[in-house]
Amino acid sequence: MIFMSVLLTSCVKLLLVPSYHSTDFEVHRNWLAITHNLPTKRWYFEDTSEWTLDYPPLFAWFECFLSYVAKLFDPNMLHLDNLNYASEATVLFQRLSVILTDLVYAYGTHQCSMSLKSGWKTEVVLTLLLISNVGLLMVDHIHFQYNGFLYGILLLSVANMIQGKYLKGAFWFTILINLKHIYIYMGPTYFVYLLHNYCFDKVHKSSSFKDLLNSFSFINTAKLGAVVIGVFLVTYLPFIDQLGQVLSRLFPFKRGLCHAYWAPNIWAVYNVLDKGAFISAKQMGFNVTSSPAVMTGGLVQEFSHSILPNITPFVTLIITAFFMLPGCIKLWSYGNSRDNFVRSLILCSLTSFLFGWHVHEKAILMTIIPLSILSIFDREDAKIFLLLSAVGHYSLFPLLFPRSLIVVKVLLYVVYTTYEFYSLSYLFPLRKRQHYTLPLLNFYESFYLFSLVPLFLYENFIHSFLGLSKTLPFLPLMTTSVYCSFGIIYCWAKYFKYFFENDKSKIKK
């Protein structure tokens, strides 16, 4: 089944080769040029292009490896001053490189399926849910990125953790965060789970403090530390004399609270509340000032709120840590529950998505992909997955803004979402007949999802028909982000509650 799934999705990906690509295409072309032509000591200082290298060194080495293959397609793409270069050979190479590195994602999916040992549910349903994920198709194969390759390593790590191969799981996760540091948001879950099940290798719910100390394994802790520290040393030792510069690239706090295309999180709502408060204050005669449309201009930059308190990176860090901490404490009490390890990963990812600094809308996939695993085992996980997947994938639509892509993105979205609802409603049949609702969802959740239809019509047709494209060009983007944020916040709150109440394990040990 895995072979057929990969083959079919690869055919779709090949059809998308000539489609629109975003500025991320130029970002990665420039990184190919940087890593191919310059010594490592200049990689993180090069700034000929505005798209400077801002991923960890392991990903830079990945780009360096690709550059030698790229040279066979078109050497001109490797010239540092060839900005925005996109010959047919360059486009073909870049697209094919994503398709081929997606084999890592296919392998991670296969390993995850094998580790779960649930027959056709994992071999067919889960495989299709993961391999044909519409978010990855839109983000990687149209917009352009290498997320499939990275999620493959995540799935490989999760598979090892489920199997109890803790050192391997830790190794692959450490590799992952040294490829793309955003995955560090999952770190608290790995830390607690490994501490409980590997460093304290004989902990039980009834263990006293003395038993806890006696169960501590110095050997296991040393092994784990050697794996994690070893990967970091190999990654950063060649850059040790420029570590400050590397870190300043990895954590560019001056990029602002929100990304250019708004992620549907708490800050999207916060920005709109501030804008509404500003307009109300002006109408009531208060002397207030505001920068012109900085929150809705679609730009990557810092800005100040007009009425509400300004949000700093430190504030987002504190809020994110505050909401992660209870879940990590609860995870400790669940012991070696594989279900709740994955649920904790999901909660950490979703919490960072909602409250983090400069969150990209693409980061919603960090929640949807792991939740796919649990959706085939538990009815409640399936319900939240269906809602979160539908709204989360829809929130990616603004990334594919050319009107020529409307049919493509809608068709991909509808086909995938239909399969989700069909397959999971087959796994979890309705106990009684429901009227006017989607499978597994209640009336209000169904109404919320059906309302995406008029939202889509407004965003793509009505807004321009009303002549608002010039005066309020980013109103559709703002509306989409805020509307989708309500659904994602709802899923987070519901899943947060479910995590604390559920201690049953359905993943076989």
| For residues 321-330, average pLDDT | 95
Q: Is the pLDDT of residue 340 over 70?
A: yes
Q: Is the pLDDT of residue 293 over 90?
A: no
CA 208 distance to own-chain centroid: 39
- Three-class SS of 290-357: CCCCCCCCCCCCCCCCCCCCCCCHHHHHHHHHHHHHHHHHHHHHCCCCHHHHHHHHHHHHHHHHHHCC
C-alpha span between 407 and 7 (Å, rounded): 23
| For residues 140-146, average pLDDT | 96
- The per-residue pLDDT for 165 is 96
C-alpha span between 334 and 169 (Å, rounded): 19
Reported as a pLDDT band with limits 50, 70 and 90, residue 226 is very high
| For residues 61-74, average pLDDT | 96
Closest CA relative to residue 129, chosen from 138, 121, 119, 139: 121
Encoded tokens for 304: 């100040």
Task: Answer for the pair 183, 154: CB distance below 8 angstroms, yes or no.
Answer: yes
- List all residues 6 or more positions away from 293 whose beta carbon is below 8 Å from its beta carbon: 474
Q: Is the pLDDT of residue 255 over 90?
A: no
Predicted TM-score (pTM) of this structure: 0.93
Q: Is the pLDDT of residue 203 over 80?
A: no
Q: Is the dihedral of CA 300, 303, 308, 310 positive or negative?
A: positive
- The per-residue pLDDT for 216 is 85
| For residues 443-469, average pLDDT | 94
255-283: b (≥16 Cβ within 10 Å) or e:
bbbbbbbbbbbbbbbbbbebbeebeeeee
Lowest mean pLDDT among 288-292, 358-362, 465-469, 505-509: 288-292
Task: Answer for the pair 159, 104: CB distance below 8 angstroms, yes or no.
Answer: no
- The per-residue pLDDT for 450 is 96
| For residues 341-348, average pLDDT | 96
| For residues 128-150, average pLDDT | 96
Lowest mean pLDDT among 120-134, 359-373, 423-437: 423-437
Tens digit of each residue's pLDDT (9 = 90 or more) over 258-289: 776 678 999 999 988 988 887 888 787 777 66
Tens digit of each residue's pLDDT (9 = 90 or more) over 371-391: 999 999 999 999 999 999 999
Residues listed for the chain: 509
Helices (H), 144-242: 147-162, 166-177, 187-194, 209-214, 218-236
C-alpha span between 196 and 198 (Å, rounded): 6
Strands of 391-480, DSSP E? none
Tens digit of each residue's pLDDT (9 = 90 or more) over 417-437: 999 999 999 999 877 667 789
| For residues 476-485, average pLDDT | 93
C-alpha span between 445 and 402 (Å, rounded): 30
